[in-house]
Structure 1
Amino acid sequence: MKRTLTVGVAVAAFALAGATPAVAAPTPSDALASALGLDAQERLVVRDSVTDADGTRHVRYDRTYAGLPVLGGDLVVHSAADGAVRGVDGNANRVRLSGTRAALAAPAGARQVVWAGSGQPVLAWDAVTEGVRADGTPSRVHRVTDATTGAALTSWNDIRTLTADDVVPARAATAGRPGVAVAGTGKSFYSGTVALETSGTYQLKDPTRGNQQVNNLNHATSGSGTLFTDADNAWGDGTNADPATAGVDAAYGAASTWDYYKNVHGRNGIKNNGVGALSKTHYGNAYVNAFWDDSTFSISYGDGSGNTHPLTSLDVAGHEFSHGVTSATANLSYSQESGGLNEATSDIFGTAVEFNAGNASDVGDYLIGEKIDIFGTGKPLRYQDKPSRDGKSPDYWDANLKNLDVHYSSGVANHFFYLLSEGSGAKVINGVSYDSPTFDNQPVTGIGRAKAEKIWFAALSTKFTSTTDYAGARNGTLAATETLYGRTSPEYAAVARAWTAVNVQGTTPPTGKYFENLTNVNVPDKGAAVFSGIAVTGVTGNAPAALKVGVDIKHTYRGDLVIDLVAPDGSTYRLKNSSGSDSADNVVETYTVNASSEVANGTWRLKVQDVFAADTGYVDAWNLTF
């Protein structure tokens, strides 16, 4: 959500001047860190920057504390065209450590960090274990533990795969003139005969798209492989008999993904720096997966069961490259709900790439991996209209979602995207039948895929951070929609409705009288109560028996807070009590109050008091619905 800061233009200019996408970052700003209330030992380091057409800038910062990386502490700072800072998204919890020495010895291969992804930041160890899974997929697992208590804090794998571990059985793995574009052709396995931009005489390297290239691993599971070359610039024969056929699909998928991000979102390559990535085909033996490795800036594609169906289809290419885009922007942690959003982002843009390519041999659909036939039954890997059709992905959010494999918890966001694009109910699109349900059995009207894509990308690149969960995704997409189309637009209402339809609840635009206050009010630590007022006018008679009070408070320990609604005559209605066991962050709730004895018109106030020490926050926004 938006956070408005009282930061002068001079400070904002110092923090953001010269921050353009994928170029040398400006000097990290101590002044901005101070204005955000961070510790004197904390520093902000620019990682990415997006500038809107109206000059609004969204600068993404990583944080350090006393030189240590602050994991889960990344921020997006929003500034107006004149340089004035207008808001912040992400976790701005101040690091408060008495020192930087750990009580416990470092695990093997560990680095010292600060973990700020949940609750109060703590000193931690980040231990990395590298290996190879049973199916031949490389593994680079991070395990973060509390450096004082040894408690497990979080874990994730740096390798972003197409499928979950249990989707397929484990299989044994086995070991010119560059820079000048030349028009070639290729016979692909999935997409028919396609045009290719190659280099020299002749290399499967595309000078028009950042020199992205395709290599042949020839069934190895390590190294970079060998760049594909050809004598006549006519690549592949459309069958697995020619290794170059999979290379054609990989090159076509890479080009289609590059063009999609460039033409639809104005992004110049994965990192927005004009540099292309590496595609590696024929990974392992009968390897039934594909994966993105950010450390090598590359995709590796297996050849599928029996080496008969290479995983190089168009939507798989879009999926894997989009893991790189996510890493370069929101960097959604690959675990729990943020991991599900990471996977869903790749499915969403894999679908978008497929539609955008307009290929008659692989028409656009809302099925993931329908061409690669992983199961040998012709069924796709995942379904966006009704994710539960795969037998494991949920259609709707529930509290257990964070415990699922990220390839399954992605289902809720995939379902949201389909509903926002196409709406609910039965329909046929490009010859494929869909029937999308809703949690509340109420219909959803779609706004079209083109708008849905833009909303998701805007949220990913300007709102989401590494620890964004589903509630945060709802907030982020609504904020992005407000920027693109306006708060009172049909698009804004549709985004809110689509999230409700997948049981990600929140405050939605009401049909009755609606009043809100978006001005931030700081809540002092163990201090006096603070108030935020809303002047209600134009409502006849008394307030309703079911007055809705929407509350959005950012706080590092919600159990500290006592929250009341104060009526115009001073009557007080308790919304929330303090509780030592209520240890989560933030209060994002809609309360129902029987206020039928109160006259509606007048100034209503939200009263918030922090009654315990050590944690801070602020009222971000609140609203009343009559």
Structure 2
Amino acid sequence: MAVLVVFNLIALVSFAQQGGVKDESMKDALRPYEILATDAIGNPTFIDFISTKVKSDDTSVYEFLKTIYGFDENTTFVEKEGSAKEQNGIFSKKLFQHYKGIKVEWGQIVVTYKDGFLRSVNGHFTPTKNSRTVPLTPVDNAIKNTIQKIGAEEYAWENMYLQKMLREETQNPKATYYPTAELLLMDKNINEGETDVRLVYKFDIYALSPESHKEYFVDATTGEIVYEESLIMHVGGSGDTRYSGKQTFETQLFNGSYRLHDYTRGNGIITYDLRGNDGYAPFWDFTNSDVNNWWSSAVYNNAARDDAALDAYWGAEMTYDYFLEKHERNSWDRNGARIENYVHSSIDNTRIADWSRNNLSTVGKIRYGDNDELDGNPWTCIDLVGHEFGHDIEATTSQISSFNNYEGGALREGLSDIWGAMVKFYAKPLNTSIYAHGSDVSAFRNMSQPNLHSDPDTYQANHWVFEGNTTNLYPNHTNSAVLSHWFYILAEGIQQQMQ
């Protein structure tokens, strides 16, 4: 089952491929809009306005959407707080679909307007008429049954240390990792040509042993798990690091020594030492007692490879600066959310870096393995930092889902590779391997030449991992190369004929 992901880009490319309207005089002057893309059931997903005949006030927008999608008065739209933006006199805002007051998952419309009139309508509408809105399964039963099905040895809410950290982060003495459910409507068959709208509970469960952090959608009528999605984003590969030469960075003087805490950027960038632990605790500070605050290779290029922590730390600072300077985005949530690095993790035999964020927390956390299985160079190079940070950008700005890991998940990983390349170029503009992802740790994806690492450069072409393939454990990473290669062509151009 594939999840519909709507981009202005996709609609425009689709329109271009169909030839578009080349003769302006041939446009129907009596029709104020043109439908450029539709979903599997024929609902418009991108509408472009030819003339400015629809006003942009809330009532006019609602009546226009009602005309397009044919819903009744039980359907409403709620503007996402803080979503309104303006650039060059063009305004945009996001509207979340609701039915009888219940939010519809993935039901989102983006409208743009100028001078009081609509310019475009873009998004996905889920038909919800006559949908059930009263649950039959008690929410407590849904949560407990899901926990029982997971069968973990330990959960985050059972770990006093993690609970204490969460309460400190949220400044809420009652904060807990124990699941809190939201009642939603969702289309189980989204993008499959026939809707199957379910009333569901949505909640996340963070298990520590074995580790998993997933969001669950449980049918509020039957108790069935309709869908689950990992909240831990992984990047796999091989390693190398300690990688960017001499750099400057902010530190904090604490109890007579310096530590890797930077509170000059947002609500802080912090780097911790896990010393081989596979969770997020216990952890320790990296410290330096040198009076000149010089973190020398003579001290930190040690048996533990502690100089890798400086790459993660400086990389997070550069990532923060890139998004603030180039996109006016104050950390991943636009509100200065804290970034925490955890170096020397033993996750997945240490051959990995991953990102995680609890929905209750305003802290983005990235763990880095030491890559002991290969060459022992920790996974802290700057484009991997930017990649993992990018996952939080995606999670807070879009509804891209890994429901279909072969395509939706590939979009997420492709976008993160793009962010990683841009952060590397921002911080190291003279670097000659901008498009070799993880180049400091023996590159494992190449945006300019994906085939070098057996990744596809074209949708469903050579090296593409099709649904049902059980030999490739990371189809999202493999198929992501199509999007990242597109970005390379967009940025650099290409000489040969395109497929």
Matched, 1:92 2:152: no
Contact 2:56 2:113 in 1 (8 A): no
Contact 1:94 1:121 in 2 (8 A): no
What is the aligned partner in structure 1 of residue 197 from structure 2?
Answer: 122
Matched, 1:267 2:329: yes
What is the alpha-carbon distance in structure 1 between the residues aligned to residue 400 and residue 350 of structure 2? 27
1:197 to 250, 260, 270: 250
1:53 to 66, 81, 87: 87
Q: How does 1:406-445 map to 2 (within 5 A)?
A: 406-424=476-494, 443=497
Contact 1:236 1:244 in 2 (8 A): no
Contact 1:7 1:35 in 2 (8 A): no
Residue 67 of structure 1: how far off its partner (Å): 4.7
Matched, 1:280 2:342: yes
- Secondary structure (helix, strand or coil) at the match of 1:241 reads coil
What is the alpha-carbon distance in structure 2 between the residues aligned to residue 270 and residue 160 of structure 1? 15
Q: How does 1:223-262 map to 2 (within 5 A)?
A: 223=280, 225-232=283-290, 233-235=293-295, 237=297, 239-241=301-303, 244-262=306-324
What is the alpha-carbon distance in structure 2 between the residues aligned to residue 151 and residue 387 of structure 1? 40
Among the aligned pairs, what percent are the same residue?
A: 27
Matched, 1:309 2:362: no
Residue 141 of structure 1: how far off its partner (Å): 3.2
Residue 410 of structure 1: how far off its partner (Å): 0.6
Q: Which runs of 5+ in 1 are unaligned?
A: 16-29, 169-187, 374-379, 426-441, 444-500, 503-626
Residue 364 of structure 1: how far off its partner (Å): 4.1
What is the alpha-carbon distance in structure 2 between the residues aligned to residue 196 and residue 413 of structure 1? 33
2:106 to 65, 68, 72: 72
What is the alpha-carbon distance in structure 1 between the residues aligned to residue 277 and residue 101 of structure 2? 39
1:229-256 C-alpha deviation (Å, 9 max, x unpaired): 3223222525243564122111111111
The number of equivalent residue pairs is 380
Larger CA deviation: 106-115 vs 276-285: 106-115
Contact 1:253 1:313 in 2 (8 A): yes
What is the aligned partner in structure 1 of residue 399 from structure 2?
Answer: 331
Cα distance, 1:401–1:152 mapped onto 2, change above 3 Å: farther
Letter in 1 for 2:122: D
What is the alpha-carbon distance in structure 1 between the residues aligned to residue 434 and residue 369 of structure 2? 23
Cα distance, 1:131–1:363 mapped onto 2, change above 3 Å: farther
Q: Which has the larger radius of gyration?
A: 1
The higher-RCO structure (CA 8 Å, 6+ apart) is 2
Contact 1:322 1:349 in 2 (8 A): yes
1:65-120 C-alpha deviation (Å, 9 max, x unpaired): 3454422212322232x454432221023422343245778752376431144353
Cα distance, 1:83–1:226 mapped onto 2, change above 3 Å: farther
Contact 1:97 1:123 in 2 (8 A): no
Cα distance, 1:231–1:67 mapped onto 2, change above 3 Å: farther
What is the aligned partner in structure 1 of residue 446 from structure 2?
Answer: 383
Contact 1:190 1:313 in 2 (8 A): yes
Matched, 1:2 2:50: no
Cα distance, 1:48–1:200 mapped onto 2, change above 3 Å: same
Cα distance, 1:91–1:240 mapped onto 2, change above 3 Å: farther
Cα distance, 1:394–1:359 mapped onto 2, change above 3 Å: closer
Q: Which runs of 5+ in 2 are unaligned?
A: 1-45, 147-180, 470-474
Contact 1:236 1:242 in 2 (8 A): no
Cα distance, 1:67–1:205 mapped onto 2, change above 3 Å: farther
Cα distance, 1:259–1:129 mapped onto 2, change above 3 Å: closer
Residue 159 of structure 1: how far off its partner (Å): 0.9
1:156-201 C-alpha deviation (Å, 9 max, x unpaired): 21111112xxx68xxxxxxxxxxxxxxxxxxx81111110012345
What is the alpha-carbon distance in structure 1 between the residues aligned to residue 466 and residue 80 of structure 2? 29
Q: How does 1:30-179 map to 2 (within 5 A)?
A: 40-46=74-80, 48-49=82-83, 51-80=85-114, 82-101=115-134, 107=142, 108-109=145-146, 112-116=183-187, 117-118=190-191, 119-120=194-195, 122-125=197-200, 126=202, 130-131=206-207, 138-142=211-215, 144=217, 154-163=227-236
Letter in 2 for 1:120: T
Contact 2:337 2:364 in 1 (8 A): no
What is the aligned partner in structure 1 of residue 367 from structure 2?
Answer: 300
- Secondary structure (helix, strand or coil) at the match of 2:80 reads strand
Residue 398 of structure 1: how far off its partner (Å): 2.5
Cα distance, 1:419–1:359 mapped onto 2, change above 3 Å: closer
What is the alpha-carbon distance in structure 2 between the residues aligned to residue 417 and residue 198 of structure 1? 35
1:11 to 41, 50, 58: 58
- Secondary structure (helix, strand or coil) at the match of 1:388 reads helix
Q: How does 1:212-611 map to 2 (within 5 A)?
A: 212-223=269-280, 225-232=283-290, 233-235=293-295, 237=297, 239-241=301-303, 244-284=306-346, 286-295=349-358, 296-306=363-373, 308-336=376-404, 337-358=407-428, 363-373=432-442, 380-391=443-454, 393-398=455-460, 403=467, 405-424=475-494, 443=497, 501=498
Task: Determine which structure has the larger helix proportion and give its number.
Answer: 2
Cα distance, 1:212–1:410 mapped onto 2, change above 3 Å: same
- Secondary structure (helix, strand or coil) at the match of 1:264 reads helix
Residue 45 of structure 1: how far off its partner (Å): 4.4
Residue 60 of structure 1: how far off its partner (Å): 2.8
Cα distance, 1:397–1:48 mapped onto 2, change above 3 Å: farther
Residue 303 of structure 1: how far off its partner (Å): 1.2
